[in-house]
Structure 1
């Protein structure tokens, strides 16, 4: 194993969406360090946090059509019946909703909960309330994917929050997606 491979394996990959932010935090750290060593160390900690926020670790996802995996790192904050967002065109029948809250220390890269074909992607502008609040799921900016899987239709909804306010989605309507495949992230900016 080469030295380059050793270094690559020692660090968690950073998603390219984070590079400009990490560079800005780093430049700010150097600027602050010119005036004060204490400010330098505070800036260095914030720069390290920024890199941690944009980490993009590899995941080993079970390949089983009978499973639905979490589309995000975080804490399951609610499980229960809910009517899907109107813009997804899934009707008014309640479906099981599993809400995953990502805090500022969670990995913010989102992955497909099932394998299937993406039949619809809808973005809806909104507020930027704390994503942990119940009303955030209806009032905040969000982006929804409808995935037609072998076992039925599944929706994955990215919801912006107070800090992570920008939703990025690379998936395309009509495209196929594998279980655990990256489809977007929620970042600040």
Structure 2
């Protein structure tokens, strides 16, 4: 199983600690082994192949669609926002929804209320990534949730992403909002379960 690199130090520590306690006391060793297995499951990072279709926007996160609404941001202008809630059992690696160049980056400190609430998009800690694409600007917002303790984003301005490319993750349950061009034809609906890098959210008809 492929693992997100952010989890390697924690997993290594737990495995070594479990091995060490195996020579001292079996109960702590068993507890640490179970904890290590849970952490391995949390940091799983399966390989995925993005669908090849012009004008298609794919999900940036695993989870369930909890919001679809009209929105506006200085980077995108009027747009359609799709909110995806990631629970603790989701794969937490985030992926680019389409090909594009990173032209906007912003980190906003904030609260950590339950990420499935629409208000979380406005008040929670979040990291914003704006992509310039052939179909207009697209904004991805990684939002910390009630249990989330770290947002990871490794992008730099000017970097070019391919559809489905990994760009970061959020630890322990959270939310990702994506702002799509206002003329997008939505393919996903409220309540749909989606998967990063493979599930279609919308398409630009040409």
The interval holding the TM-score normalised by the smaller chain is 0.7 to 0.9
- The CA deviation string for residues 18-55 of structure 1, in whole angstroms up to 9 with x for no partner, is 01121333355457764553x54443222111111111
- Are the counterparts in 1 of residues 67 and 118 from structure 2 also a CA contact under 8 Å? no
Matched, 1:110 2:110: no
Aligned residues: 171
Over aligned residue pairs, what C-alpha RMSD do you find? Answer: 2.0
Matched, 1:90 2:75: yes
- Are the counterparts in 2 of residues 65 and 151 from structure 1 also a CA contact under 8 Å? no
Q: Tell me which residue corresponds to 1:184.
A: 168
Q: Tell me which residue corresponds to 1:119.
A: 103
User: d(CA) in 2 for partners of 1:134 and 1:151?
Assistant: 26
Q: Tell me which residue corresponds to 2:192.
A: none
User: d(CA) in 1 for partners of 2:35 and 2:167?
Assistant: 27
User: d(CA) in 2 for partners of 1:41 and 1:80?
Assistant: 47
Structure 1 residue ranges (4+ consecutive) displaced by more than 4 angstroms after TM superposition = 27-36
Q: Secondary structure at the match of 1:165?
A: coil
Structure 1, unmatched stretches of 5+, are 1-11
- Are the counterparts in 2 of residues 65 and 114 from structure 1 also a CA contact under 8 Å? no
Q: Tell me which residue corresponds to 1:156.
A: 140
Matched, 1:24 2:13: yes
User: d(CA) in 1 for partners of 2:88 and 2:166?
Assistant: 19
- The CA deviation string for residues 54-87 of structure 1, in whole angstroms up to 9 with x for no partner, is 1111111013231000001111111121233xxx
Q: Tell me which residue corresponds to 1:130.
A: 114
In the superposition, the TM-score normalised over structure 2's length comes to 0.75
